[in-house]
């Protein structure tokens, strides 16, 4: 019985992993497009790691804070 529970957990996890991978790809695409829209150029920051993605989010949020009230 215990092996059957573990097998079902493994099967469900294997079904979930591709969706997680697609989610991460869409997240990176979203950040790339947001960066392109904000800068009007392709400003490359390393997003090969979580540190790079954190820098990208921090840059985007600081830009929005600076320019929120400008009309």
- Report if residue 49 sits inside a domain: yes
Predicted local distance difference test score (pLDDT) of residue 6? 82
Count of domains observed in the chain? 1
Could you say which DSSP state residue 71 is in? -
In a domain, residue 68? The reply is: yes
Q: Does residue 70 fall inside a structural domain? A: yes
Query: 10-residue block means of pLDDT along the chain (71 residues)?
Result: 79 88 90 74 54 74 78 54
- Other CB atoms within 10 Å distance of the CB of residue 51: 10
Residue 41 is assigned to a structural domain of this protein: yes
Residue 39 within any structural domain of the chain: yes
Kindly state whether residue 17 falls inside one of the protein's structural domains: no
Full domain range(s) for residue 28: 24-71
């Amino acid at each position: 019985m215990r092996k059957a529970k573990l097998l079902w957990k493994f099967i469900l996890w294997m079904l979930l992993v591709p969706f997680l991978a697609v989610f991460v790809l869409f997240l990176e695409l979203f950040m790339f497009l947001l960066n392109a829209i904000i800068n009007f150029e392709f400003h490359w920051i390393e997003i090969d790691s979580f540190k790079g993605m954190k820098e990208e989010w921090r840059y985007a949020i600081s830009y929005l804070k600076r320019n929120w009230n400008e009309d």
